[in-house]
A and B are shown apart, each in its own frame.
Chain A
Amino acid sequence: MANKAYQRIYTRLESITKATVSLKAKGVSNDELAVVGGKLAQVVKTRGDLVTLQVFSGTEGIPTNAEVTFLGEPPTLKVSEQLSGRFFNAYGDPIDGGPEVEGEVREIGGPSVNPYKRRQPSELIPTGIAGIDLNNTIVSGQKIPFFADPDQPYNQVMADVALRADVDKIILGGMGLSNDDYLFFRHAFESAGALDRIICFVNTTEDPPVERLLIPDMALTAAEYFAVDKNEKVLVLLTDMTLYADALSIVSNRMDQIPSKDSMPGSLYSDLAKIYEKAVQLPTDGSITIIAVTTLNDGDITHAIPDNTGYITEGQLFLRADSDSGKVIIDPFRSLSRLKQRVQNKKTREDHSQVMNAGVRLYADAQNAKTKLENGFDLSDYDHRCLYYAKEYATRLLSIDVNITITEMLDTAWELFGKYFSKAETGIKQSLIDKYWKGS
């Protein structure tokens, strides 16, 4: 980010907030980068001569006579095969001690794919976790977040999923990652011997929050390079998008914008959609799949961040600690994969969708029985059977530590149905019952 000799240097800031500075300048273009007192900044607003810049690393220590130079271009990333196996900060500078990456300079946050040029996602991404593969099957080109309270092991699950998935590249965009979690990911990737197909862009809690705003665009620009130019299957992991949204609200607040729900900017939906919609199945075999994390405040999905996310993404995976089985499970009620119909019964066995629905419906009956029990009512025979079923279903299928094939998951479900229920109680289509029923 060196200054060019002929550029005009401004030395008078009109106003400073914690995240932005304003100054009078001419010939400035929207979204262009600038250096303010040695810190990188981006133009977010112009009004007449007055230009407002968002300073990524915060404005601490910037004096009103700080030197400001404009770089004439929006943020960019150099893309090439050399990105593989490397760790970068939010600006795309290496943080692993390795050399600078050589390659083609690309603007980050570029245009979107023509919807008509997309192909319908139809390739299964198996993860071995039944809560995902059986109930919420993920498909390449999909975008899906984990909704989890901060105490859930979402980063571990995400690392498991990434390493089991059959993809060419895994790109991690870490936002507000604690240093421990950053090292966890690094270690997990290293010990799996997967380092050559990993690329990481990391902003840790030690870095200034506004820098996070660059992370998803950096990660996705790299992803587009591999998916579009190299026809590769790319999996992008974004954690934690709640911290990304928090950074958005900091900037909009400093710019005196009227906040909408939960003090988030009114453009939150568009801001998040711009990121998630980069998930794509291209007409060539290249694809970008996004698995993200949105941390919740005490399971509250009505908060603006998870709420807007839910409307954008193709489902969500809800992590919950289950008291019956003592395990962390993927909640079958609140979780959903919108693209599961693309592969269920087509790429998987014909009984998949009916087994999935019956399994969840019976689990719902168990929850009703549990409510009755808690309210001190007598339980019927059916209620008791439901409760036994629920415990085994949670342990053997919903728990995140499961790692089996989809056929094994289906067989396990039939085994549980046969053990606890009559054929009619499952409500499954007769032709499938005739073929797969286990037990009397």
Chain B
Amino acid sequence: MKTKGTVTGIVSNLVTVLVDGPVAENELCYITLDGTPLLAEVIKVNGDKASVQVFESTRGLKNGDQVEFLGKMLEVTLGPGLLSSVYDGLQNNLTTMETVFLKRGEYTDPIDHEKLWDFTPLAKEGDVVEAAGWLGEVKEGWLPHKIMVPFSFKGKYTVKSIIPEGRYNVDKVVAVLTGENGSEHEVTMTQKWPVKVAVKAYKEKPRPQRIMETGVRCIDTFNPIAEGGTGFIPGPFGCGKTVLQHAIAKQGEADVIVMAACGERANEVVEIFTEFPELIDPHTGRHLMERTTIICNTSNMPVAAREASVYTAMTICEYYRAMGLKCLLLADSTSRWAQALREMSNRMEELPGADAFPVDLSAIISNFYSRAGMVILNNGKTGAVTFIGTVSPAGGNLKEPVTESTKKAARCFYGLEQNRADQKRYPAVNPIESYSKYLEYPEIISYLDENVEKGWVRKVLDAKNILRRGREANEQINILGDDGVPVSYHVSFWKSELIDFAFLQQDAFDAIDALTPMARQKYMLDLILDICHREYDFDDFEKCREFFKELINDLRQMNYTEFQSDAFNGYVQTIENKTNGYGK
């Protein structure tokens, strides 16, 4: 018998329920308000009183209203058709809702049950399989979507029967499996999985082996993110967090992109589902939307569903990873998720941690980041979930709990800087404080040695060093004045400006400059470092500035032109002539 309860207290979306039986932490329940069921989740139990967070507005709810517990946690439905969908944080399909305004208690099916898929069996009768084992395959867009043994199956199973090739809908029983105890299980194309539990149906999770290209120079060259790696982008508002994240989403070298708009602006989500269907994936030539799922809990949608949205997104990524695909999860912004936790903790009158956040914030964040990673599947194939989250630190101050907790969990740090944004130096990623731990990984270093150039990482560190020396020189110039320092200080400073303007800065709105493939990045870095490694002798600092400003202008024009086109090569020649004129 299902546990039932009655409402005994309401503060905003925190509702206290008197229960008549057992309830579990994170168990779901429906609260009935004038005939409308409102979904809620247990977040605390004290005696026979359960505190539940309601995923909807509680306006009009009364003490005494009836509650029914569902005996399960929040789960998502996994199956063909997830890609190119737009879901809310609870995986309701937003595209099939008819009214302009969201209706409370309206829950829509995430999966189309009518659509027919071309199924090809991969397993045969008598095969021994386990959770996440591949039984068959359908084509979802251009991706091979594996139909798998549900993740919840424990132990070994024998395939008793499997259907032949053909067109079926998702509810078709594709296989019957026999368990070790002789029990029989029917498997369809869909399965359900609780979002807060990590999918562990793989053999092992090794260290990342290669980098994921984004076409963004300050990431790929200076602080590359590994495939299956984690990174985060903190920054004050107005520093270009969203533009940078969208650039990564558009250009990231991944099979599947899941974007979780977590407590952010609705218009940004609109931008994604308006533009992505038009945009072409630079790696496959297919429409971007075909590989994208959007999970959208905008800032005006119910707070509790905000927390659910990031977990829903992660679970969908893990599902595709189990098919041997490379997934990229972008969550904007994890601070909103942390704030949702804070609101609930506050309403439950828990003792607060720093800045009134719950004390276990750090543990929750690192637990979530740990779900990313590259894995070796049981069949020996690999799959990856790369995760990049944004953080919106209060007041732009990085010494706040969400940034600090995330720093402990994520391996790449792309710090956006107000000062750079003010000067329109975009992307405003601070080139000196940002880091990628992957540059220290022997696996990644040898990957770059093989795939970019032997000794590439040394070159990158060299460029970073020039930037650092430039900054120091600039500090001296600012203290002592242009004339108060030797001209060589100016040369150091302008070399760093050259790298900044011609390489780090990138115009996300220019068709050519927005995406720089690795080969072009290497070419440009070589060219720039060659200029930097020459010795110059200027009569005064004005000459020095003039010389470098001209070079910067030429290099920027190059960034706007087609790689190795006549115009491009023309600039190479111009630069060559200019530097030869000065070089000693």
Which of A's residues lie within 8 Å of B, judged by CB?
26-32, 44-49, 74, 107, 110-121, 141-142, 228, 257-261, 265-267, 269-270, 273-274, 276-278, 280-283, 301-304, 307-308, 310-312, 314-316, 333-334, 336, 338-339, 341, 353, 357, 360-361, 364, 371-372, 375-378, 380-382, 424-425, 427, 429-430
Give the top 10 A-B pairs by smallest Cβ distance, nearest first: A302-B395, A273-B299, A277-B300, A377-B481, A310-B237, A260-B356, A47-B9, A116-B94, A31-B59, A333-B422
B8:A48 contact, CB within 8 angstroms: yes
| Known contacts A47-B16, A302-B395, A311 near B237 by CB under 8 Å | yes
**9 more A-B residue pairs beyond the given contacts A259-B356, A267-B12, A382-B542, with a C-beta to C-beta distance below 8 A:** A29-B60, A113-B266, A116-B95, A266-B356, A269-B263, A274-B299, A316-B238, A338-B265, A378-B483
Interface residues of B in 344-370 (CB under 8 A from A): 346-347, 349, 352, 355-356
Instruction: Enumerate 20 A-B pairs (CB-CB under 8 Å) in ascending A order.
Output: A29-B60, A30-B61, A31-B60, A48-B8, A74-B60, A107-B59, A111-B104, A113-B100, A115-B86, A115-B270, A258-B356, A277-B299, A308-B394, A314-B265, A315-B238, A364-B422, A376-B481, A377-B481, A377-B483, A425-B549
Of the listed residues B64, B298, B556, the one surrounded by the most CB atoms of chain A closer than 10 A to its CB is B298
Does B424 sit within 8 A of A, measured CB to CB?
yes
Decide if A48 touches B266 in the complex (CB within 8 Å): no
A307/B395 contact (C-beta < 8 A), A27-B62, A111-B102, A114-B94 known: yes
A112 CA to B57 CA in the complex, in Å?
11
- Cβ of A71 to closest chain B Cβ, rounded Å: 12
Contact of B343 (CB < 8 Å), options: A270, A281, A310? A270
| B100–A269 touching, CB < 8 Å | no
Partner of B557, one of A119, A270, A276, A429: A429
Q: Which residues of B contact A (CB under 8 A)?
A: 8-12, 16, 57-64, 86, 94-95, 97, 99-104, 236-238, 242, 263, 265-267, 269-271, 273-275, 296, 298-301, 303, 333, 336, 339, 342-343, 346-347, 349, 352, 355-356, 392, 394-397, 422-424, 478, 481-484, 509, 541-542, 545, 549-550, 552-553, 556-557, 560
A62 to chain B, nearest CB (A): 22
Instruction: Kindly provide the distance from the CB of A34 to the nearest chain B CB, expressed in whole angstroms.
Output: 14
CA of A371 to CA of B477, assembled, Å: 12
Report yes or no: A48 in contact with B509, Cβ–Cβ below 8 A. no
B490 CB → nearest A CB, Å: 11
Report how far A149 CA is from B58 CA in the complex, Å: 37
Q: Which residue of B lies closest to A316 (CB)?
A: B238
Instruction: Using CB atoms, name the residue of chain B closest to A267.
Output: B343
Tell me the bound Cα distance from A183 to B395 in angstroms. 35
Q: How far is the CB of A205 from chain B (nearest CB, A)?
A: 28
Q: Tell me the nearest residue of chain B to A345, going by C-beta.
A: B509
On whether the beta carbons of A270 and B397 are closer than 8 Å, the reply is: no
Min CB–CB distance A255 → chain B (angstroms): 8
Contact A261 B355 (CB under 8 A): yes
Q: Is the CB of B397 within 8 A of A302?
A: yes
Is B346 in contact with A266, judged by CB distance below 8 angstroms? yes
Residues of B within 8 A of A382 (CB): 542, 545
Given contacts A112-B101, A258-B356, contact A377 B482 (CB under 8 A): yes
- How far does the Cβ of B535 sit from chain A's closest Cβ, in whole Å? 23
Q: Which residue of chain B is the closest to A309 with respect to CB atoms?
A: B237
How far, in Å, is B348 (CB) from chain A's closest CB?
Answer: 10
**Which residue of chain A is the closest to B239 with respect to CB atoms?**
A336
Please, which residues of chain A bring their CB within 8 A of the CB of B484? 377
| CA of A44 to CA of B58, assembled, Å | 11
Return chain A residues, CB-CB under 8 Å to B478: 371-372, 375
- Please judge, given known A-B contacts A269-B263, A427-B553, A427-B556, whether A116 and B97 are in contact too, CB under 8 Å: yes
Most buried by A among B100, B303, B482, B557: B100
Whether A30 pairs with B59 at a CB distance below 8 angstroms is: yes
List the A side residues contacting B242 at CB < 8 Å: 338
Given the interface pairs A111-B102, A375-B481, the reply to whether A307 lies near B58 with Cβ below 8 Å is: no
Considering residues B97, B300, B509, which has the most beta carbons from chain A within 10 angstroms of its beta carbon?
Answer: B300
Residues of A within 8 A of B550 (CB): 424
Determine the distance from Cα of A376 to Cα of B298 in the docked complex, in whole angstroms: 50
A225 to B356, CA, bound (A): 38
Say yes or no: B299 contacts A28, CB within 8 Å.
no
Given A114-B101, A307-B395, A357-B424, A269 and B62 contact (CB-CB distance below 8 Å)? no
Contact B481 A307 (CB under 8 A): no
Query: A10 to nearest B CB, angstroms?
Result: 15
Specify which chain A residues have a CB less than 8 angstroms from the CB of B342 in the assembled complex: 260, 266
